[in-house]
Amino acid sequence: MSDKPGRKPSAIQRELKQTKPFPGLEQEGAVALFRTADVVRREVERALEPLGLTLQQYNVLRILRGAAPESLPTLEIGERMIEQAPGVTRLLDRLEARSLVTRARCSEDRRRVLCTLTSQGLALLRSADGPVHDAERRCLGRLSRSRLETLLALLDGVRGQTD
């Protein structure tokens, strides 16, 4: 409740060296959420860098692995991405150039392009799994199982996904 006079600065205020209180808890929560997401993102990006993958490329490969053995249309991949990316086609171009995915026109609807993870893409994804899991554990492993479950429920609520 950093909007209350006389309250000591919150952790996010101290971390950002912010001397003035936030106008409200919603803004403080949003800033803390953005900062936390950035910390986790940077840690996972560091794990992927030696493999020559970006976080978005890794996300596409994971989506395709989850759909296997089925192929997915380009638009559906875009809808399933953690971060909505306007350039899904360019992202797939790069993955296809590295032989990590294949694309083919749908025989029933030539406007649809179906994407499939290649064996090379699956192998790269498997080699990324351990380092990414370690990065996630470094960031979130400080929390008990109970607190992680609470965090997930709170984040669902922020996204409007409450049961």
Could you count the other beta carbons within 10 Å of the beta carbon of residue 44? Answer: 20
Range of the domain at 69: 11-151
User: Per the domain annotation, does 38 fall within a domain?
Assistant: yes
- Each residue of 27-76: pLDDT tens digit? 999 999 999 999 999 999 999 999 999 999 999 999 999 998 889 998 89
Instruction: Determine contact, residues 128/55, Cβ cutoff 8 Å.
Output: no
Backbone angles phi, psi at 114, to 5 degrees: -100, 135
The whole-chain average pLDDT of the chain stands at: 90
For 99-154, how does the pLDDT look when each residue is reduced to its tens digit (9 = 90+)?
A: 999 998 877 776 788 999 999 999 999 999 999 999 999 999 999 999 999 999 99
Asked if residue 86 is part of any domain, the answer here is yes
CA distance 160 to 101: 33
Whether residue 78 lies inside any domain: the answer is yes
49 found inside a domain: yes
- Tell me, what's the pLDDT at 111? 76
| Residue 123 belongs to a domain | yes
Tell me whether residue 29 is in a domain.
yes
Any domain includes 28: yes
- Evaluate whether residue 40 is within a structural domain: yes
Q: Which of 51, 56, 106 is nearest to 77 (CA)?
A: 56
CATH assignment at residue 144: 1.10.10.10
Counting the structural domains of the chain, the total is 1
Residue 4: C-alpha distances to residues 7, 8, 11, 27 (Å): 6, 9, 15, 14
